[in-house]
Amino acid sequence: MAIVIVPLSLKTSAKDLQSKASYAVYSMLGIGVVEMICASIHGIATLTSDHPNAYVMVGKQIPQGLFDMGMAFGGVAILPYVLADMLNPRNAKKVVLKATTRIMIFYLLVAMIGYFGWADSIEKHTPLQHMMMMGFWYQNAARIISALFVVKTCTTFPLTFWPLYREFEALISLDESPGLQLQLAWAVRRQQVWKIATKVLLVTACLSHLLLSMRIKRRLMALFMGLPLNVGQFVFPACVGCLAIRLHRKILHVKSETADPGHTSEAKYLCNSLEFHSIAVHIAAALIIVLGIAWFGMTA
C-alpha cells in the first residue's frame, strides 16, 4: 500500500487532485451501491425465513456510534483549502450545502438499508465479515468492496496529505529564497529537490504508525483524531455562540449610547428577552462542551 501511496502523494497539482477526488468519490459510491444491494437482498430474504432479523430501537454502542459519525465528517476540515482555491468563491455556501447534503443522504441510505439487511449481526461481525461467511455471490461482492476500498484509500490519502504539505511548505518558506526570486536555474532545481524530499518525508511520517502495535495505535488515534474532532465539533461551536451573543450585546450597548438611547434590536430572542437568550446560549454551550468531554472520555 505504501509503495502505491507515496508516488501518488508526490503529485499535488490541481488536475491530479481533481482526478484522484473523482476516483475516490466513484469508489465510495460503488462501495455504497454494492453494500446496499447485498443488504437489501439479505434483508428481504430473511423476512420470510424461519429466523427473521431482530431490530432494536436503541443500540448498545452509542458512544462508538457517535465517534464513528464524528469521524465520518472529519473530512470537512479540508473545506477551507478547497474554498480558497475556488474560481468563484461566492459560490462557497452553495457548494458546501450541496456537498454536505449529498454526504448526509449517502450515509443515511447506507446506514438504514445496511441495518435493514444485517440487523444486530453487525455487533459481532462487520458487513464484510458477514458477507465472507455467506454464499458465493456475497463473497464476491465483499471482494469487490475490498478492492474499491483499496482504490479509495490510495486516492484519498493524497487529498488529505495536500493541506499538510501546503502548511509545511509555507512554514519552511521554500519559495522565498533570493535565488528563486531571481529565477536562477540552480535555485529552481534545488527547490524541486527540496519539495520532493519534503513530500517523501511527510508521507513516510504519516505512514510510520503502521509499524506500531494495535494498542498504541488506538491510543494515538483517540488522541490525535478524537481531540481535534472534539475541539472542532463541540468546543469551538460552543465558544463561537457565546462570543456571538456577547458581541451582539456589546453592539447594542454602543448603539444605545451613541446613536439612539431608545433604540431596540430587531432580532428575535427566546421569550423575547435578550438576557434570557444570553443565559440560554451559555447554558447550551456548557452542555455541548460537557458532552464533548464525555464523548472523548468514552472513546479514548
Q: For the whole model, what pTM was predicted?
A: 0.61
- Note whether 300 and 226 are within 8 A (CB): yes
Count CB neighbours of 135 within 10 A.
9
Confidence of residue 29 (pLDDT cuts 50, 70, 90): very high
Contacts of 23 by beta carbon, 8 Å cutoff, 6+ apart: 151, 152, 155
Mean pLDDT check: name the lowest of 25-29, 67-71, 108-112, 283-287. 67-71
Confidence of residue 33 (pLDDT cuts 50, 70, 90): very high
- Assess whether pLDDT exceeds 70 at residue 26: yes
Confidence of residue 11 (pLDDT cuts 50, 70, 90): low
Q: Please tell me the predicted confidence (pLDDT) of residue 7.
A: 66
Q: How many residues does the chain have?
A: 300
